[in-house]
Amino acid sequence: MSDEANNFHSNIKLVRQIGRSVPFLDVLIENRKGTLTTSVYHKEAAEPYVVPFGPDHLDHVLRNTVDTAITRAVRYSTTLSEFEEEIRQMKLMFLYNGYPPRHIHRQLTTLFKTEIKNQHKDIYSKVENRLTGYPHLIPQSDAILKQYSDHLLDYLNQSYFTPLSYKDQLISREQAQILGSIRRIIQNMNLIIRVTDKANNFYIGSAGEFEQKARKFFSDTNAFTELSSNPFNEILNKVIQLLNTLRGKDLIRKWQYEQMMPDRTTDKILRPIFDAKCKDTTIIDGATLITELSKYNKKGLLKSTTLFCTFDIRNLYAMLPQEETLDILITFLHAHGYRKAKGINIDTIKKLASIILKDNAFAYGKKIYKQTTGGAMGSSLTLTSANLFMAKWQKNIVEEQTKTGEFYGRYIDDIFMTWNRSEEELRKFLDDVNTWHPNIKLDYKIGNSLPFLDVQLTNHNGILSTSVYHKSAAEPYVIPFTSDHPRHVFINIIQTCLARAVRYSSTFEAFNYERHYIKLMLLYNDYPSTFIENEFHKYFSEYISKSPFLPLIDEEQKYFRMRKEILGQPTPQQSKVAMSAALADIDNDPPDDDEKQQLNPDPKKSEENISNINQKFFTHLTCEKRFKTCKRDMHQVYHETFKDTPAMYTKLIFGNRIRRQTHNELIHKRPNKKLLQNTTIIKNKFEKQTMNQQQTTIIPEPPSTEYK
């Protein structure tokens, strides 16, 4: 054929090269026993020359030169050995052009090795910890663990060094350009971007305007004091000394001492007790409110003149009086008969809670502040403390509402109640409530139709009507279908939206409106229409029809039958709170010995021990759509390594770890390192100058106590 082509035109002559390995441009294409492989092609006459390293070129030019060579090696090398050979030649070329070894190594590490190293370390350490422990007891020096480590590393290298498809390259490049464009706009226009604490929306506004709002918040709450130095070391020492003292007096156990981060651990002790003892006036979610109001309606208390009232507390977290809140906490525990909670006595709990509420500092702008009133917004203990404080504050309102048979419920700082007297009396009552405590001020709304949380509640002449409520400022945004998330995340989003629509929509018309809203929202976020329809049909078919034909909800009777069934099921949040409440009275006064620290000394394998071999254990992978068969391949690596050992029967389950999200790339709230450093100014007697000397934190050793 090539000979014939040579005769097509007298001026056109071909130089042909035929074989199982031929170069084209800068890529070498080979046929190895029916397998197509590619690698970087270097012409024999080509000189090993790139932009030379030196001050004549900008840093980004030098970095881009190395990055381009590495990227080409990844794209063109279909096997790990070819990639490693290309990297070896590339290193020699850059060294020849004056590049320091550390410069080349840094670029390689940044692009590839760190991700692979972290993934390998995370997975292998979990497998090693599981198999070296009871009941497997495989020695850490056993060759089989080294074999698994090597196989795992080989697989991760092959996965990460496989070139991206052209489509994925275009998408990645486009997203990087969009991200860079947003960053430039934020910088050039002096904007600020944050994620709201409710609804997870983005707030974008003028940095100057944001600063004014922050100053107004500081002024209105009067809860923060500016500090002249960073108190981090002082607070850290105080926490450690308190834990050492408590352990030395045997007020906390060894396992509690070792695990205790005071904020999280203290809240885990208190939260179940609150969930159990205050459930009658607590609104867990919108579904809870609808259920309680339905009971109120069935009692015949909902009339055409019944008013709904909602009110929220201004800046509750920042306005909690610290000492009073601690006293309320202790009174609450005593009132419900608690001498200890999870083995820790009440006085110790107060000390732990006190250090969380009172020793709370933060950096804002270029200054450091200490919070003198309230607690940190992100602290789980602050949430529980606020709930306990409000439970005490609302006592008179609850008693008044109970006497008249009216409903009262609270979700943290948002309150909903019914009223069957005049609106004037209600306003007078609420104005009086506003004077009960100097730190607690409320803003209220009264009407026949009001939103609460994500529910719109309406009194239609004595008939309760509910529907999904969307704030006017809310964007129709969910995780985009193009995002690097596992597939079940997109399915869960659709199922959650549909479940909420069914629970909240008291009429077929309201449900159809919400169903159309969900479809439009999903389409707006790039969900394929076929995927949406399939998931809708799957969800509805579970409740309406058992036939193989996917049903549609086309009549009210079907809808109300489905709604009744769904309303009878607890929501995930209700199940979570119920499980928490069930732990309130468990293990509050356990025996003094540290049983949790003891290993099973019995070498004999009882039935229980044998069943332990079959236990599951979890590890996680960073989710990427290009790794479609990754979980299956990981299982294969594990099974091939341990196929002839008892470890074969231990089930390894891989979960998904999500990559850094967009707001993490755009929002940087961490202060400058210099601001976070603890510095002390020392004057030299002989030289009239000052110098900053870095303080060191001395962490005292725990007291030598014989653990019983």
Say yes or no to pLDDT of 25 above 50.
yes
Residues with Cβ within 8 Å of residue 584, at least 6 apart in sequence = 272, 273, 275, 276, 277
Dist CA 314 CA 438 (whole Å): 12
Residues in the chain: 708
**Residue 237 contacts residue 335 (beta carbons within 8 Å):** no
Domain 261-468 in this protein, CATH class: alpha beta
Residue 424 has a pLDDT of: 94
Residue 544 has a pLDDT of: 64
- DSSP classification of residue 431: H
Over residues 634-654, the mean pLDDT reads 85
DSSP 3-state of 203: strand
Dist CA 308 CA 275 (whole Å): 26
Q: In what order do the strands lie in the sheet with 224-227?
A: 224-227, 367-371, 361-364
Give me 42's structure tokens: 């270097």
Residue 555 burial (CB < 10 Å; 0-12/13-18/19+)? Answer: exposed
Residues with Cβ within 8 Å of residue 459, at least 6 apart in sequence = 302, 304, 306, 307, 308, 448, 449, 465
Cα separations (Å) of 644 from 2, 141, 159, 348?
57, 18, 26, 52
Percent of the chain residues past pLDDT 70, beyond the cut = 81
pLDDT digits (tens, 9 = 90+) for 261-293: 544 567 788 889 889 999 999 999 999 999 999
Amino acid, single-letter form, for residue 623 = C
**Residue 486 contacts residue 623 (beta carbons within 8 Å):** yes
Dist CA 211 CA 214 (whole Å): 5
- DSSP classification of residue 647: G
**Residue 148 contacts residue 127 (beta carbons within 8 Å):** yes
Beta bridge partners of 195: 202
Dist CA 52 CA 365 (whole Å): 42
198-201 own/partner pairs: CB under 8 Å, 24+ apart: 199/471, 199/474, 201/473, 201/474, 201/475, 201/477
**Residue 268 contacts residue 435 (beta carbons within 8 Å):** no
**Residue 375 contacts residue 388 (beta carbons within 8 Å):** no
**Residue 531 contacts residue 494 (beta carbons within 8 Å):** no
Residues with Cβ within 8 Å of residue 537, at least 6 apart in sequence = 550, 551, 552
Dist CA 50 CA 89 (whole Å): 13
The secondary structure of 364-422 as a DSSP string is ETTEEEEE-SS--TT-HHHHHHHHHHHHHHTHHHHHHHHHHT--EEEETTEEEEEE-S-
**Residue 243 contacts residue 344 (beta carbons within 8 Å):** no
Q: Mean pLDDT check: name the lowest of 117-131, 581-595, 665-679.
A: 581-595
Residues with Cβ within 8 Å of residue 304, at least 6 apart in sequence = 459, 461, 462
pLDDT digits (tens, 9 = 90+) for 427-458: 999 999 999 999 999 999 999 999 999 999 99
Over residues 184-197, the mean pLDDT reads 85
Q: Where are the beta strands (DSSP E) in 432-545?
A: 442-447, 449-452, 455-460, 463-468
Tokens 């390594």, located at residue = 641
Amino acid, single-letter form, for residue 643 = K
Residue 379 has a pLDDT of: 83
Residues with Cβ within 8 Å of residue 615, at least 6 apart in sequence = 650, 651
Residue 42 has a pLDDT of: 76
Dist CA 512 CA 82 (whole Å): 58
Dist CA 632 CA 622 (whole Å): 15
DSSP 3-state of 189: coil
Dist CA 562 CA 283 (whole Å): 24
Examine residue 135 and say whether the peptide bond preceding it is cis (omega within 30 degrees of 0): yes
Residues with Cβ within 8 Å of residue 200, at least 6 apart in sequence = none
pLDDT digits (tens, 9 = 90+) for 477-517: 888 998 888 888 999 999 999 999 999 999 999 999 999 99
Task: Return the H-helix or E-strand segment holding 193.
Answer: strand 191-195
**Residue 289 contacts residue 591 (beta carbons within 8 Å):** no
Dist CA 467 CA 469 (whole Å): 6
Q: Directed axis angle between helix 101-108 and helix 59-76, to 10°? A: 50
Residue 690 has a pLDDT of: 36
Residues with Cβ within 8 Å of residue 51, at least 6 apart in sequence = 57, 61, 62, 65, 97
Say yes or no to pLDDT of 472 above 70.
yes
Indicate left, alpha or beta for 121 from its phi (over 0: left) and psi (-120 to 50: alpha): alpha
Dist CA 100 CA 558 (whole Å): 73
Residue 368: count other Cβ atoms within 10 Å of its Cβ.
20
Residue 665 has a pLDDT of: 73
Q: Mean pLDDT check: name the lowest of 178-192, 204-218, 451-465, 591-605.
A: 591-605
Tokens 């270097």, located at residue = 42
pLDDT digits (tens, 9 = 90+) for 139-150: 888 888 888 888
pLDDT digits (tens, 9 = 90+) for 213-269: 888 988 888 888 888 888 877 887 788 888 888 877 777 777 677 666 544 567 788
Give me 100's structure tokens: 């320091």
Say yes or no to pLDDT of 545 above 70.
no
Domain ranges of the chain: 23-99, 167-226, 261-468, 487-567
